[in-house]
Amino acid sequence: MKNKKTALVCGAGGFIGSHLVTRLKNEGYFVRGADLKAPEFSLSTADEFHIGDLRDPVFCQKVLTPPLDEVYQLAADMGGAGFVFTGENDADIMHNSALINLNILGEIKHREGIRIFYSSSACIYPEYNQMDPLNPKTEESTAYPAEPDSEYGWEKLFSERAYMAFSRNYGITVKIARFHNIFGPEGTWRDGREKAPAAMCRKIAEAKENSSIEIWGDGQQTRSFLYIDDCLNAVRMLMDSDFSGPVNIGSEEMVSIDELAKMVMDIAAKPLTIHHISGPLGVRGRTSYNGLIREQLNWEPSHSLRQGMSKTYTWIREQVKLAQHQYRLS
Ligand code: NAD
């Protein structure tokens, strides 16, 4: 009988990590999870779950104890625009995430045969290529000369380079993906770290009939959003392939933030007024370029934005109802 593969998921208490644990379990892996916290919205399906701090080399050593075939490194100090673009969290973002990555690399550098996946971000792409909301450029080859618009992006770029350097010098197999706005049920939806799709669903679910919602900026800024299941398919295809990346994992279905708001209002059957206010924004336009992943992995997303947003809205509406019920009881 074939031995079960063993995988470690770092960041297994987070949004993508907790979904990835379930995906790997469904594929028959033995899964070890590590995170500062357990998943917020459901019980982890991991075989082992270690609560601890990956900035601590001793904890890293413990969770990286052999046997391990694969490591998925998703742990990072991160959040949406309200966390990344205010400037208030820059030092923590750089210090915490870089330490996690350096600890992990230091621990696995002599492990022959181990494969490690690193989750980088579309935030590494230069700001100067993302000024035109209708024509942003994110081809993998345009990452340099580097000019990310946030320290979050700079840390991701530094860590990409660290993973590639360790691969060259120590021979470990590294896979790097640049995620572009991944969303879906069981993602953070309030308290400041939520991203645009979740924030939009929450605002619309909370709004009274015929009222208004607030949107940061003029609403003409563009983005694309990838549904979680499609993201996990791409991650697993990349891990099983001979291709290393860095490669974009995202959607090419670009929308303005106003269009996203109108789509969610339509899903919710709640026509509301949009009130634009100033707030942290990030680049003017961004969408994924999928030429490389199509060519290397023959991967395409299978959910449209509307399909993904419908599932996400349904889940967030339930969370909002639950929170309102708990508030009434308190
Ligand atoms: P998330 O915040 O839900 O998950 C990250 C997890 O890392 C959290 O559970 C957090 O507790 C954990 N973590 C942070 N510091 C830690 C530490 N010191 N020790 C142990 N655990 C620690 O984020 P996510 O959306 O699931 O993103 C996963 C990865 O993908 C991150 O690296 C993120 O930067 C990257 N990414 C995500 C997106 C997206 O749209 N979600 C886009 C681009 C890149």
Q: What is the pLDDT of residue 112?
A: 84
Asked if residue 240 lies in contact with residue 305, where contact means CB atoms within 8 angstroms, the answer is: no
Can you give the CATH number for the domain in which 238 is found? Answer: 3.40.50.720
Shared domain check, 242 and 311: no
Shared domain check, 260 and 149: no
Binding site membership of 54 for ligand 1 (Cβ less than 6 Å): yes
Instruction: Say how many Å lie between the CA of residue 317 and the centre of ligand 1.
Output: 23
Shared domain check, 219 and 151: no
Would you say residue 190 lies in a domain? no
Shared domain check, 242 and 138: yes
Express each pLDDT in 300-323 by its tens digit.
Answer: 999 999 999 999 999 999 999 999
SS3 assignment, position 105: helix
Would you say residue 297 lies in a domain? no
Binding site membership of 36 for ligand 1 (Cβ less than 6 Å): yes
Question: Would the pTM of this model clear 0.85, i.e. be above it?
Answer: yes
Would you say residue 124 lies in a domain? yes
**How many whole angstroms separate alpha carbon 214 and alpha carbon 207?**
10
Binding site membership of 222 for ligand 1 (Cβ less than 6 Å): no
Q: Quick one: which atom of ligand 1 is closest to the CA of 193?
A: 2
Would you say residue 77 lies in a domain? yes
In the chain, % of residues over pLDDT 70: 99
Instruction: Say how many Å lie between the CA of residue 92 and the centre of ligand 1.
Output: 14
Hey, which of 8, 9, 15, 225 would you mutate to test ligand 1's pocket, going by the most ligand atoms within 8 Å of its Cβ?
15
Instruction: Say how many Å lie between the CA of residue 274 and the centre of ligand 1.
Output: 30
Shared domain check, 140 and 18: yes
- Answer whether residue 158 shows pLDDT above 60: yes
Catalytic site residue from 152, 163, 227, 289? 152
- Answer whether residue 124 shows pLDDT above 70: yes
Would you say residue 273 lies in a domain? yes
268 CB-near residues (< 8 Å, 6+ apart): 204, 205, 313, 317
Binding site membership of 63 for ligand 1 (Cβ less than 6 Å): no
Bigger pLDDT: 83 vs 199: 199
Structural domain containing residue 257: 196-223+253-283+304-329
Amino acid (one-letter) located at 325: H
Shared domain check, 263 and 129: no
Binding site membership of 288 for ligand 1 (Cβ less than 6 Å): no
Binding site membership of 15 for ligand 1 (Cβ less than 6 Å): yes
- Answer whether residue 3 shows pLDDT above 80: no
Shared domain check, 131 and 80: yes
Asked if residue 107 lies in contact with residue 172, where contact means CB atoms within 8 angstroms, the answer is: no
Q: What is the pLDDT of residue 1?
A: 47
Would you say residue 14 lies in a domain? yes
Express each pLDDT in 183-199 by its tens digit.
Answer: 999 999 998 888 899 99
Instruction: Say how many Å lie between the CA of residue 61 and the centre of ligand 1.
Output: 20
Would you say residue 134 lies in a domain? yes
Shared domain check, 258 and 162: no
Shared domain check, 218 and 233: no
Can you give the CATH number for the domain in which 319 is found? Answer: 3.90.25.10
Shared domain check, 217 and 153: no
Would you say residue 191 lies in a domain? no
Shared domain check, 208 and 89: no
What is the pLDDT of the chain when averaged over all its residues?
Answer: 95
Q: What sign does the CA torsion over 237, 241, 244, 246 have?
A: negative
What's the structural domain count of the chain?
2
Q: Quick one: which atom of ligand 1 is closest to the CA of 13?
A: 9
Name the E strands within the chain.
Answer: 6-10, 30-35, 48-51, 70-73, 115-121, 173-179, 182-183, 212-216, 222-223, 226-227, 247-249, 255-256, 273-277
Shared domain check, 209 and 231: no
Binding site membership of 74 for ligand 1 (Cβ less than 6 Å): yes
Question: 72 an active-site residue?
Answer: no
Nearest CA to ligand 1 atom 29: 74
